[in-house]
Structures are given as structure tokens and as C-alpha cells.
Amino acid sequence: MFRKKALSIAAISVLSLFFTGCTSSTTPVPVQQTPIEVKKTETPSAQPVPHKEAYVDLSQKSAGFHSGMNDGCATAKGKYTKDPALYNNETDYKDGWFYGRRKCQPHRAA
């Protein structure tokens, strides 16, 4: 019985020494960093230049484009509206839908 107890204590001691020997005992050496100078450039005007979009002549667009534009605008205002059949099959409707959604977004309203 004494031998079993001594053997288990010895085994625990050896295992604890083994696992503690695997850890690093070195202290990390701090690296000296040199500060980087950042040059500030002055802008001629304090106000940002607003994004200007090209004028789109809607009088030359098809009825499908106008329908898509109206649905896209309604979607941008919070009521999701889209005709899936037209959206998947008619390029004019799809282009109009994206155009209307982009133009009617609240943060873009001017």
C-alpha cells in the first residue's frame, strides 16, 4: 500500500515537472519604437464637394423603366415593391428599379 501511494506521488511529481518545464520563463524584451511624423495637408475649402450625378433624360426611357423606377422608389421609401417576372426578364425594368431606389433613398434626397 505504501508503495502504491509513493508511486502515485512520484508519478504526479514527474508529470507536474514535465508540464512546468514546457512553459517559457523568459521575459519579453520591449522593442523601442520610433514615432512616425504625419504631415497634415490643408484643404482649400472646409466643405466637402457633393457628389454630382449625370443628368438622365427620363423622357427617352421605356414604360418598363418608368414602372421599375416607381417600384424602386417605393422600396427606398420603406414599402418593398418589385415585380419578380419583370425584374428577371426585362432589363429596362431592372435598371429602372435600381435607378428609382437609388434616387429616392432618404439620405440622397436633395
Q: What proportions of the chain, in percent to the nearest 5, are helix, strand and coil?
A: 55, 0, 45
pLDDT tens, residue by residue, 80-109: 999 999 999 999 999 999 999 998 887 754
How high is the pLDDT of residue 10? 75
Measure the CA–CA gap between 16 and 20, rounded to whole angstroms.
6
Predicted structure pTM score: 0.48
The C-alpha cell that represents 97 in the structure block: 428599379
Residue 36 has pLDDT above 90, yes or no: no
Q: Tell me, rounded to whole angstroms, the distance of Cα 92 from its chain centroid.
A: 30
> For residue 22, what pLDDT is reported?
55
What value does the mean pLDDT take over residues 73-85?
91
The pLDDT score that the predictor gives to residue 82 is 93
